[in-house]
Amino acid sequence: MQVLEAQTVEEIFSNIQLKKAVKGLKDHNPVMTQRFGADPYALVYNGRVYLYMTGDMPTYDADGKLQENTYGNINIINVISSEDLVNWTDHGTVYAASETGAATWGANSWAPAAAYKNIDGKDRFFLYFANNGNGIAVLSADSPVGPFTDPINGPLISRKTPNCAEVTWLFDPAVLMDDDGSAYIYVGGGVPSIEKAANPGTARVAKLGDDMISLACDPQPIENVPFLFEDSGINKMGDKYYYSYCSNFSMKPEDEEKAGYNQGEIVTLVSESPMGPFEVYKPVLKNPEYFFGRGGNNHHCMFDFKGNWYITYHSRILEEAMDMNGGYRSTNIDVLEVKDGGPSVSKGTRSGVKQLSYLNPYDDVKAVTMANCAGVETRQYGEEAEKYGSGDMIVTGISDGSWISVMGADFGNAKPFELSVKLGGDGTGAIRVSLDSPDGEVLAYVPVEAMNGEVEDVFVSLKCVPEGVHDVYFTFAGTGYEFLSWRFIK
């Protein structure tokens, strides 16, 4: 590769205008900005939290006008993961439903839930989702990111399942893995009529079979779920079980005053048994409109990670930042307050949660591991990911002024002297690597020449020696090339 003169590269970047990020440089919400992701569900596995999200996809009419999100075209599930809740690795989109997805019999993939279980000495992963409002599918895999396949070639729960035909919306699954190894699934929602708004009777719970892809019993009604709308949630804290859901939008002011929560709010019930009976407990999260100004449905998941409790939920702050207004959702994470042993009131923020651990810049870091970005896209990388939708990913869509960043990289006192990056594609340009901001102290300039479609390692010497903890920014010039991974060498 021909090496560009340093001064030439500096001149290139002096004339480039940075792309504007859709969230603040220090904000952690939304957790992903390269595409939308709604109805988040958290799975904690081997020191990482994996988020599975409904793949909201903006649609436009023939004149290019943004259409309101009807969810009717959604058949993918987005997957990201993190070990620090700030830097998120993009694992792509599970091709979940329709003729091009794993569940070819289904039309849609809404509101995923995920679980894993050791079966015959091997961890198996299970992804449950709603086929619109008419039933629940289950996919399985040997990895939390897939490839996922359909082990039963049909619905796990449908309107033919006992006690389910009358459920208004047979959707929004949640799964509980209990301490004794048993598992339970919670589904349902909807208001049959305005007269039943106070107690719709549309929530269901069933014990899962040992294989996690069958039911061990018929689904049973969860009795007395006041003002249920949608969004099943389930958690065990101590020896109590907390069922959570979104309250419906038929609540009158007097209903709200008496109940102690508002319409469209996440509320909880408590029981000493996973199948109930449950009693009213506390509200935990107001509608996103309360915190961010734009409302809509409210969908959440509470999870325990590294000794602390968090709540992940969706809002519309990403579409607002993108000057869109169509009901397209993005995922946030905030601290879940726990009082008296149970979930309590939490707040939605743009700043998000604190970074739990530092990133190791001497590891091979996937370029799709990002805290923030502007003007880039990601795509599937490799035959398996391209076939199934999820797996390895690569940063693409690069253009002048686009950039990515990670937060809290700990260089320690090791005095690195070189940077290795893996690049591909046919384009040319350069990458500026800087500390703490896109125009911060420059660590290195990486010249980029055409790779003829291959991925190659490029090594460059550092202009200065980083020490301690810093954010790291990669700013791009040129186009037509792709970025797979990076690491510093000491």
Q: Quick check: 298 and 266 in contact, CB under 8 A?
A: yes
CA within 13 Å, CB half, 51? 36
* Contact predicate 353/327, CB 8 Å: no
Cβ–Cβ under 8 Å, residues 447 and 9: yes
Give the HSE-up count for residue 281: Cα atoms under 13 Å, Cβ half-sphere.
24
What lies within 8 Å, CB to CB, of 249 at 6+ separation is 229, 263, 264
Give the CA count within 13 Å in the CB-facing half-sphere of 146: 33
**Which member of 83, 230, 231, 392 is catalytic?**
230
- Concatenated DSSP letters of 414-454: ----EEEEEEEEEEEEEEEEEESSTTS-EEEEEEE---TT-
**268 membership: H or E segment, kind and range:** strand 266-271
Q: What angle do CA 54, 58, 62 make, to 5 degrees?
A: 150
CB of 219 closer than 8 Å to CB of 204 = yes
Closest to 347 (Cα-Cα) out of 408, 412, 413, 290: 290
352-362 as b/e, with b when 16 or more CB fall inside 10 Å? bbebbebbebb
| Residue 230 bears catalytic tag | yes
Concerning whether 61 is annotated as a catalytic residue, the answer is no
What is the CA angle 194-200-205, rounded to 5? 160
Active site residues: 39, 230
